[in-house]
């Protein structure tokens, strides 16, 4: 008990040390555990159950928009990786190389996929011949490897789980529409399921995916004012098709190059959820992805009838379709309260002898700490209402945080002084479109370009850096 008790105490305060607070939650909510494989982690049952829920919802959205799942090999021969020039330049420095199979040296090195454009291209070259074969709307749920120097659970690890969509279309218009559609799917998912507001926009050229014509992204703002890229969607034009010689016969019987896209989100979404909603008691999970949506905690459980009643409530909530858990362990109610607060369970149902006498229970909401007394015959509807309220309240709170930490600035001096005064956040400022200015802003203010948002505003007419006529309003920020 003493040891268990320690587990739910002693989490670093987020104001004191945000990075340590984050790591504490990852460990103490039992999301991950370190391994002897540097930069890689074990995703523990509670963390993996969150990922399964994310997968389940997103996979449904992908299938509803006509996508099919496939599975490509995890290895890419070096010669295949090299076929698209920009792509190999972007990824080769950070891939893991397999050089031996058993005791034999391989004739050609294989990299462990950092992403699978090259494999999909090879496959499309095999199966796409006619306009009738288009589009192909494929996705896969796998892990990928990038040999990062500095790693943090969920945010940056050498191996991470993700999905990668890869589609191929007859026309550029179709492919661009797909790129935008999937960015919207991601945004909708983040806002609805994760209760996390995002800014949708386009990356500047210096920040594009290796081999892409254009990269779109959704950017979220964490509790500490740093930005987090939560998902990306890339339009490739016909560059990969040309590099891999994918051609099809169109309706006029001409051989033409198709257009491609790819898009992905990763387990870093779990990191985003932690840093968007978490507090000093631990994790706060949006109901849609919470492994346990309601935990039932019996009070004075040794008294006659309490466990029976608690079990009855559990059965009722399970039957109503909630993910519910009854903790009838020997730990004290207080310990259990802390434990499930740490784990971010959205709703806690307390039931004790007095409650039973009065035909009621207590329902506490994790996100705002509110408690209500509820007649037992209103259990299901109240839990449903509290879960909806949690999602909506968490979203509104996160949106407030984002809005309060988004600053319009007209000069570089203003950027510096605003951030100094108010702390990190999104900076909205104008840009002429020149990479040199982008670099200079970063160098002199410490914030980099996050995206050119689709929702443009006119902060001023001039580039924040060079003062020449501005082309775009950009969101700038420090990023995870």
Nearest distance from C-beta of residue 112 to a second copy, angstroms = 7
Respond yes or no on whether the N-terminal peptide bond of residue 144 is cis (omega within 30° of 0): no
Q: Pairing state of beta strands 75-77 and 104-112?
A: antiparallel
Regarding 110 and contact with a second copy (CB under 8 A), the answer is yes
Nearest distance from C-beta of residue 249 to a second copy, angstroms = 11
Regarding 145 and contact with a second copy (CB under 8 A), the answer is yes
| Stretch of 11-19, 90-98, 186-194, 396-404 lying at the interface with a second copy (CB under 8 A) | 90-98
Burial class (CB in 10 A: 0-12, 13-18, 19+), 46: middle
Cβ proximity to a second copy, 126 vs 253, nearer residue: 126
| Stretch of 100-108, 306-314, 366-374, 401-409 lying at the interface with a second copy (CB under 8 A) | 100-108
Size of the site for a second copy (CB under 8 A): 55
CA distances from 427 to 134, 144, 199, 413, 448 (A): 42, 32, 12, 12, 10
∠ at Cα 371 (367, 373), nearest 5°?
A: 145
Regarding 206 and contact with a second copy (CB under 8 A), the answer is no
Non-local CB neighbours of 265 within 8 Å, separated by 6+ positions: 58, 162, 163, 186, 230, 231
What CA–CA distance (Å, rounded) separates 472 from 454? Answer: 10
Regarding 60 and contact with a second copy (CB under 8 A), the answer is no
Q: Which residues of 81-111 are buried (b: 16+ CB within 10 A; e: fewer)?
A: bebbeebbebbeeebeeeeeeeeeeeeebbb
Regarding 245 and contact with a second copy (CB under 8 A), the answer is no
Cβ proximity to a second copy, 45 vs 375, nearer residue: 45
Regarding 131 and contact with a second copy (CB under 8 A), the answer is no
Nearest distance from C-beta of residue 39 to a second copy, angstroms = 9
Regarding 150 and contact with a second copy (CB under 8 A), the answer is no
Regarding 33 and contact with a second copy (CB under 8 A), the answer is yes
Regarding 44 and contact with a second copy (CB under 8 A), the answer is yes
Give the residue among 225, 166, 229, 172 at the shortest CA–CA distance from 199: 229
Q: Which of residues 376-395 bind a second copy (CB under 8 A)?
A: none
Residue 109 · residue 99 · CB < 8 Å: yes
Regarding 94 and contact with a second copy (CB under 8 A), the answer is yes
Give the residue among 451, 459, 480 at the shortest CA–CA distance from 187: 451
Find the farthest-apart pair of alpha carbons in the chain and give their distance in angstroms, rounded.
81
Out of 8, 14, 54, 95, name the contact with a second copy by CB under 8 A: 95
Nearest distance from C-beta of residue 73 to a second copy, angstroms = 4
Out of 122, 207, 312, 380, name the contact with a second copy by CB under 8 A: 122
Residue 479 · residue 227 · CB < 8 Å: yes
Cβ proximity to a second copy, 343 vs 386, nearer residue: 343
Regarding 99 and contact with a second copy (CB under 8 A), the answer is yes
Cβ proximity to a second copy, 110 vs 429, nearer residue: 110
Nearest distance from C-beta of residue 447 to a second copy, angstroms = 28
Tell me the H-state helices in 193-284: 239-243, 268-277
Q: Which region, left, alpha or beta, applies to residue 237 given φ > 0 means left and ψ of -120 to 50 means alpha?
A: left
Q: Which of residues 61-80 bind a second copy (CB under 8 A)?
A: 68-77, 80
Regarding 98 and contact with a second copy (CB under 8 A), the answer is yes
Query: Radius of gyration over alpha carbons of the chain, in Å?
Result: 25
Cβ proximity to a second copy, 108 vs 421, nearer residue: 108
Which of the 8 DSSP states describes residue 278? -
Q: Pairing state of beta strands 255-256 and 214-221?
A: unpaired
Out of 54, 88, 161, 465, name the contact with a second copy by CB under 8 A: 161
| Stretch of 117-125, 176-184, 304-312, 347-355 lying at the interface with a second copy (CB under 8 A) | 117-125
Query: Which residues here bind a second copy, judged by CB under 8 A?
Result: 3, 33, 35-37, 40-45, 48-49, 51-52, 68-77, 80, 92-103, 110, 112, 119, 122-123, 126-127, 129-130, 138, 142-143, 145, 147, 158-159, 161
């Amino acid at each position: 008990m003493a040891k268990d008790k320690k587990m739910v105490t002693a989490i670093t305060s987020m104001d004191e040390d945000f990075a340590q607070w984050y790591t504490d939650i990852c460990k103490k909510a039992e999301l991950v555990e370190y391994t002897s494989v540097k930069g890689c982690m074990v995703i523990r049952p509670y963390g993996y159950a969150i990922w399964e829920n994310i997968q389940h919802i997103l996979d449904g959205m992908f299938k509803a928009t006509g996508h099919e799942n496939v599975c490509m090999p995890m290895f890419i021969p070096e010669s295949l990786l090299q076929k698209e020039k920009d792509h190999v330049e972007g990824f080769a420095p950070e891939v893991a190389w397999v050089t031996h199979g058993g005791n034999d040296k391989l004739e050609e090195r294989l990299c462990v996929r950092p992403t699978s454009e090259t494999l999909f291209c090879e496959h499309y070259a095999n199966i796409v011949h006619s306009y009738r074969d288009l589009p192909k709307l494929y996705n896969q749920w796998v892990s990928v490897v990038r040999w990062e120097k500095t790693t943090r659970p969920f945010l940056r690890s050498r191996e991470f789980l993700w999905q990668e969509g890869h589609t191929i279309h007859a026309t550029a218009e179709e492919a661009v529409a797909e790129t935008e559609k999937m960015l919207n799917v991601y945004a909708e998912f983040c806002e609805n399921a994760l209760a996390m507001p995002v800014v949708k926009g386009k990356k500047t050229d210096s920040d594009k995916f290796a081999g892409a014509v254009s990269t779109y992204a959704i950017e979220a703002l964490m509790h500490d004012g740093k930005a987090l890229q939560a998902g990306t969607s890339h339009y490739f034009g016909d560059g990969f098709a040309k590099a891999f010689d994918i051609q099809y016969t169109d309706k006029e019987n001409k051989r033409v190059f198709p257009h491609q896209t790819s898009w992905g989100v990763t387990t870093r979404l779990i990191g985003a959820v932690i840093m968007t909603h978490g507090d000093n008691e631990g994790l706060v999970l949006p109901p849609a992805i919470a492994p346990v949506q309601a935990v039932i905690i019996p009070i004075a459980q040794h008294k006659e009838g309490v466990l029976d009643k608690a079990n009855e409530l559990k059965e009722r909530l399970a039957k109503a379709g909630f993910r519910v858990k009854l903790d009838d362990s020997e730990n004290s109610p207080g310990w259990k309260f802390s434990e499930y607060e740490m784990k971010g369970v959205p709703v806690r149902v307390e039931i004790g002898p007095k409650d039973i006498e009065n035909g009621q229970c207590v329902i506490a909401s994790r996100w705002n700490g509110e408690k209500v007394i509820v007649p037992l015959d209103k259990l299901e509807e109240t839990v449903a209402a509290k879960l909806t309220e949690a999602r909506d309240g968490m979203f509104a709170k996160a949106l407030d945080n984002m809005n309060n930490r988004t600053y319009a600035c007209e000069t570089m001096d203003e950027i510096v002084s605003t951030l100094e005064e108010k702390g990190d956040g999104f900076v909205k400022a104008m840009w002429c479109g020149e990479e040199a200015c982008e670099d200079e802003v970063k160098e002199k203010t410490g914030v980099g370009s996050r995206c050119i948002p689709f929702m443009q505003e006119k902060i001023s007419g001039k580039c924040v850096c060079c003062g020449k006529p501005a082309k775009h309003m950009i969101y700038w920020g420090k990023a995870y």
